[in-house]
A and B are shown apart, each in its own frame.
Chain A
Amino acid sequence: MDIAFAQLDERVAKFVLSGASPAFANTLRRAMISEVPTLAIEDVRIYDNTSVLFDEMLTHRLGLIPLKTDLRRYKPKDECTCEEGVCPVCTATYTLSVEGPGMVTSSDLIPQDPDAAPAEEKIPIIELARDQKIVLEAHAVVATGKEHAKWQPTVACGFKNYPVIVIDGNCDACGMCVDECPRGVLETEHGKVNVVEGRLELCSMCRLCEKACLAGGIGAEPAIHVSADESRFIFVVEGDGSMPVSEIIKRALQYIQTKSDDLVEVLTEITGEGADEEVSY
């Protein structure tokens, strides 16, 4: 199994995973979306709200604000030893106190821990008119995307198979497939149809080129064939700013490793000693 990065920024990563099964690629995708924990506002104590939004709509908006998350610092609530449910180990506290007129943004949300500040500063929460007021205290906890989408560290996160385009010798370079391709993957050169260098990964495997080839009267079979490589996957992972994308990928892989180790352990327990020999990796 091999990972080759095409792009790795703070917010976006694009990479090709090769030598893996579709099941593993999907496991990685699901782990990144729903098994990497982040901070999100869960409980809000509202002291005053005279804005046009109801309390629950206001808290819903607060919950969706991405918060910078240092997972070495915060523990999920069920792993925390505190009894009253609010302690600095499992909860980040924020206060918001604004009077209108004006726009309340995520930068008005004052964190007790500066490392857990909102990931973006200009997220509008509510527009206040004159004499309107919001005073509240918010508690953010660590949980996973399995529970609610607000705890997902990723926004668009997905993969597709690596496209394989084969052009047969009977291609007459009529150029109809080149005109048809919506992604501009193909070109005609020296009386032959080619894949434009560096654009193969953009192919969406729509097979419009195959149809265009048949419409061009080549015969019963098209001269161009588009198929999917079943063991290579193009991933796009976009983070919401709560943590760098590289950390999301790392933590997702760690999660898969722990889970599979646990499974082996359980299997050993059920089948008795020496089960390790039967399990082949």
Chain B
Amino acid sequence: MIPVRCFTCGKVISPAWKEFKERRDAGEDPKQVLDDLGLERYCCRRMLLTHKEIVEDLNPYQ
């Protein structure tokens, strides 16, 4: 799961994940998406840029 808040500054960044993922996968430039989502600081931007979702991979093993 995407962390609720940015590790460094504490801004709540998780609501932006869904839109970021959809638009990035649609081929948009991540820079443009992050700017639109209002993530100004590079600490918050790296939270989304470097995230890897593994919840779905774990589901079969519950």
Contacts and interface: CB of A to CB of B under 8 A. Distances in A.
Q: Do A and B come from one complex?
A: yes
Contacts of B27: none
B contact residues, range:
10 to 19
A64 B55 CA distance: 19
B4 A65 contact: yes
B59 A52 contact: yes
A75 B41 CA distance: 34
A119 B11 CA distance: 12
Interface string B8-21: 01111011011000
Contacts of B1: 53, 61, 124-127
Given A238-B11, A240-B11, A241-B12, A156 B41 contact: yes
Interface of A is mostly: loop
A124 B14 contact: yes
A193 B12 CA distance: 42
B9 to A, nearest CB: 4
B18 to A, nearest CB: 7
Given A129-B59, A132-B62, A66 B12 contact: yes
A154 B58 CA distance: 34
Interface of A: 50-53, 61, 64-66, 119-120, 122-127, 129, 132, 149, 152, 154-156, 238, 240-241
9 contacts: A52-B59, A61-B4, A64-B5, A65-B4, A123-B14, A129-B59, A149-B10, A156-B9, A156-B11
